[in-house]
Amino acid sequence: MSTMNASAISMPQHQGHDHHGHGPVLQYQPGLPLTRGKLIMWLFLSTEIMFFAALLGAYVVLRFGASVWPKPHHVHLSEPIGAFNTFVLICSSVTIVLALEMARANKTTAAKLWMVATLLLGSLFLGVKGYEYAAKFEHGIYPWSPRSRVFEKPDLYYGSAVRARLGEPAMIDRLKELDDTPESQLTPEVVSARRRLAKVRQMVTNPDQQPFDLAVVADQVMPLPVEHATAVSHDGTETPVGEHGGGHTSGLNDTFPWLKLPAVIPGGTMWASTYFLLTGFHAVHVMVGLIVFTILLFYKLGPKRAGMIENAGLYWHFVDLVWIFLFPLLYLF
Amino acid sequence: MSDHDAVEAHASEPHGPITRVGEMPEPGNHEHSAHGPGQHSHGGVGKYLLVFVALCFLTTMSFLTFTSYWPWRNEPHVGWAFMMAVSCTKAMLVVLFFMHVFWEANWKYVLTIPAAMMAIFLALMLVPDIGLRNRMVSQERALYMARPSDVRLMEQAGESQLLTNPTTH
């Protein structure tokens, strides 16, 4: 069970038949004072460290080398949710360590319960991540085009994308339906938004369009509040936090969820790429860890299985470690 | 091994080499005992909870830079250095205690010291990439990427009175 090196003792002598048909007597010396499984797990973790170091290095280079990077509230990033996720993963690290301790002390039921707790906390992490992703998708922030409705600046490409969206047959029908609804049936905010939407459509198709007009259009579609704006929470998706005013003012995309016009977030596309890459790969690693724990739950978690649990725990702690670095780099920087 | 086979035909079934376990070096894991590696007694649960409290405290510290209590809001580099220091401390705690490395034998230095050298080397090698990034942007990137002037344009558009202000609700 230990990693061993074999050394044969004086081979030539035993070529004779002294031992009645036995081979040479080999004496194994242990190479390292740890089990094979643990050694392999550490070697695997070092490869995973290299993997995440590459991704994190790419993020650092792109983020600090970019001339423009979006503010967290521009991309609907919530730091408190990230902090909560960090706390959840730290708790799950504690529970897996306790599961190991229980297993070593031959308290199999307790070990199984702690393992279930780890599984639940890991699933909670994934659930919160899914909620965060849903919030991004709702605002058109996807990892890639053509899904992604984010443009870096309000230029001609942005204008033509807005026109293309407004010119879609389904959109034309809905816009006509919206225009035909009498004012009495709509709330004042919707009436005001409808008026602004009509102005936006006019500005976007205007042949005498000024460069500034598209910026105004973009601001109407999805406003990018400045830090000291006293924005109020909207529809429950974001809540104001700290001094950053995490809530956001309502743009046309928020008032009319079916509108889905392209939006401008300077630096947003690069942000989306790195964010989804890093958190996506991390989430995949979390899922693999959860699968391992699910499989382990089918075993009797006594001292004989302590090695297996320890190795699974090593992997899980590594996943926690990566998140410990990801959280400040993605959310707080 | 054919002469062995010839002999073994007369003896009992052919054997492979006989193996004998040598002595494990000093801080060995006593894998064969029923209690598993007993490097630290069962009172280790208290240690883990202490580390957990420390981790929660450190997480709160790093979250502090986001709140209004952080005094160096105008110098982001201070915040970044602080956050990286906190992250490294948390990582050390997790690696040393949760991953049990504190109690492991000297092989941990074989693993960690070259890794640390690589990490420092990697960080140093990335510095020129960060510095030169904007000077060596491709044409396609330059066509689409945002610049500070675009950010100012968006801010001006937000403050303009061209259309009535967006409703806040």
The C-alpha atoms of residue A262 and residue A222 are separated, in whole angstroms, by: 9
The C-alpha atoms of residue B146 and residue B154 are separated, in whole angstroms, by: 11
State whether B62 and A24 contact (CB < 8 Å): no
State whether B94 and A22 contact (CB < 8 Å): no
Rank B31-35, B77-81, B108-112 by mean pLDDT and report only the highest: B77-81
> Could you give phi then psi for residue B13, rounded to 5 degrees?
-55, 150
B3 versus B55: the higher-pLDDT residue is B55
ipTM metric: 0.76
State whether A33 and B107 contact (CB < 8 Å): yes
- Please give the model's pTM, rounded to 2 decimal places: 0.80
pLDDT of residue A298: 94
The C-alpha atoms of residue A204 and residue A206 are separated, in whole angstroms, by: 6
> Could you give phi then psi for residue A324, rounded to 5 degrees?
-60, -35
Nearest to A265 by CA among A68, A113, A56, A41: A68
Which residues in chain A (156-195) have CB-CB distances under 8 A to chain B? 157, 189, 192-193, 195
The C-alpha atoms of residue A220 and residue A203 are separated, in whole angstroms, by: 11
- Substitution target in A85, A301, A321 with the highest count of B β-carbons within 10 Å is A321
Instruction: Indicate the average pLDDT of chain B.
Output: 75
Residues A128, A132, A133, A134: is their CA dihedral positive or negative? positive
State whether B134 and A67 contact (CB < 8 Å): yes
Tens digit of pLDDT for each residue in A248-262?
Answer: 567 888 888 888 999
> Is residue A31 very low, low, confident or very high in pLDDT (cuts 50, 70, 90)?
confident
State whether A223 and B158 contact (CB < 8 Å): yes
Nearest to B40 by CA among A155, A100, A272: A100
| Lowest mean pLDDT, pick from A212-216, B96-100, B126-130 | B126-130
Percentage of chain A with pLDDT > 90?
Answer: 44
Across A164-322, the runs of DSSP E, i.e. the strands, are 263-264
Tens digit of pLDDT for each residue in A257-277?
Answer: 888 999 999 989 889 999 999
List of long-range contacts for B95-98, beta carbons under 8 Å, 24+ apart: B95/A317, B95/A321, B97/B47, B97/B48, B97/B51, B98/A93, B98/A94, B98/A97, B98/A313, B98/A317, B98/A320, B98/B48, B98/B51
> Could you give phi then psi for residue B99, rounded to 5 degrees?
-90, 5
Structural tokens at position A288: 């693999």
User: Domain residue spans in chain B?
Assistant: 42-99
Which residues in chain A (200-259) have CB-CB distances under 8 A to chain B? 200, 211-212, 215-216, 218-220, 223-226, 231-232, 234, 242-244, 249-251
| Lowest mean pLDDT, pick from A39-43, A44-48, A132-136, B38-42 | B38-42
> Is residue A212 very low, low, confident or very high in pLDDT (cuts 50, 70, 90)?
confident
Task: Give the pLDDT mean for B100-119.
Answer: 86
Count of alpha carbons within 13 angstroms of residue A67, beta-carbon side: 19
What is the nearest CA distance from B139 to chain A, expressed in angstroms? 15
| Lowest mean pLDDT, pick from A15-29, A56-70, A193-207, B32-46 | B32-46
- By residue count, chain B amounts to 169
Task: Give the pLDDT mean for B132-154.
Answer: 83
The C-alpha atoms of residue B33 and residue B88 are separated, in whole angstroms, by: 36
Q: From the CB of residue A48, how many other CB atoms can be counted at a distance below 10 Å?
A: 16
pLDDT of residue A183: 83
Instruction: Indicate the average pLDDT of chain A.
Output: 84
A24 versus A3: the higher-pLDDT residue is A24
Structural tokens at position B146: 């945002």
Tens digit of pLDDT for each residue in B37-51?
Answer: 444 445 578 999 999
